[in-house]
Amino acid sequence: MQETNKKWLYLFILSLIWGTSYILIKKGLVGLTPLQLGAFRIVFTTIFLFLIGFKKLFKISKQQWGWVALSALLGTFLPVFLFAYAETQIDSSIASILNSLVPLFTIVLGFLLFKIAFTRNQIIGVVLGLLGAGILIFQGAEVNPEQNYLFAGFVVIAALCYAGNANILKAKLQEVSSLAIAVGNFSVMLIPAVIVLYFSGGTQLNIEDPEIKSSLIYVLILAFFGTALAKILFNKLVQISSAVFSTSVTYLIPIVGIFWGLLDGERFTLIHLVGAGVILTGVYLVNANRKQKKTNG
């Protein structure tokens, strides 16, 4: 019973952390460019992870480092910049909803790259998810004509990257501990992030500027909670529950993201609600099928 309570607690905390990440990105962009925000996020997170798990690097074999590097590229490096650029033009609440496409893309890429079979319900779920994304992007552009909803495409690409990373972790890095993968990922990204930080002017920022100072604080919070701590908590959640239960965090993240967006004055209309509902219905069909297969097995 105690472990049951613990998994629900982890699920709730993860929902709050990941759902809050989108508004933190938005606030961080007030004083930073997308390149600076993404680079600082990686550098800060690397420091946190090195403090708790540097020795785990020696647990990764030479053959595994290539996959760890690819996992870093798809699972973190590209998405942190893609989300930052997306939120220069679209609301944080919309970004949080579109990120729910990850489980759907995971199914598609699993089939295309690793020939993992999927069922009719999962196909319907994927189609519904894409339909919901289309509603959000095209109708959302009419609701917010001052925003460039083409930038929502960056979130869709980031979701594809996350899905690719999920398949790599499952197919190629199953024997590596979750903390070792996380530390390995960020050790690979540290030098590229520092280079990006330098050429984007991040090393020459005036931290006495109130906007820059507050933005750096937001990114620091994002790096510690939204990236480093969230990775550890999610790994713990998977260990004490199941993959099906863990992915249910997908349903809760948009709720938290929408809540913060509304508090920050973002517009959320009925058409946004319809799009979100269609996406989450698709996610439900995909996960319900997984649950049924596990029960039958």
Take residue 123 and report the two structure tokens written for it. Answer: 């196909």
Residue 294 pLDDT: 47
pLDDT digits (tens, 9 = 90+) for 141-198: 677 778 888 899 999 999 999 888 888 887 888 888 888 999 999 999 999 999 999 9
The position carrying tokens 């894409």 is: 130
Average pLDDT over residues 100-110: 81
3-class state of residue 266 by DSSP:
coil
Burial 92-110 (b: 16+ CB within 10 A, else e): bbbbbbbbbbbbbbbbbbb
CB count within 10 Å of CB 262 equals 13
Cα 93 to Cα 96: distance, rounded to the nearest angstrom = 5
Residue 51 pLDDT: 94
Q: What are phi and psi of 269, to 5 degrees?
A: -105, 180
pLDDT digits (tens, 9 = 90+) for 219-254: 999 999 998 888 778 877 766 765 556 666 777 888
Q: What are phi and psi of 186, to 5 degrees?
A: -75, -25
Residue 232 pLDDT: 78
Residue 176 gets which letter from DSSP? Answer: S
Chain centroid, CA 85 distance in Å: 14
Burial of 51 (0-12, 13-18, 19+ CB in 10 A): exposed
Take residue 231 and report the two structure tokens written for it. Answer: 């990775």
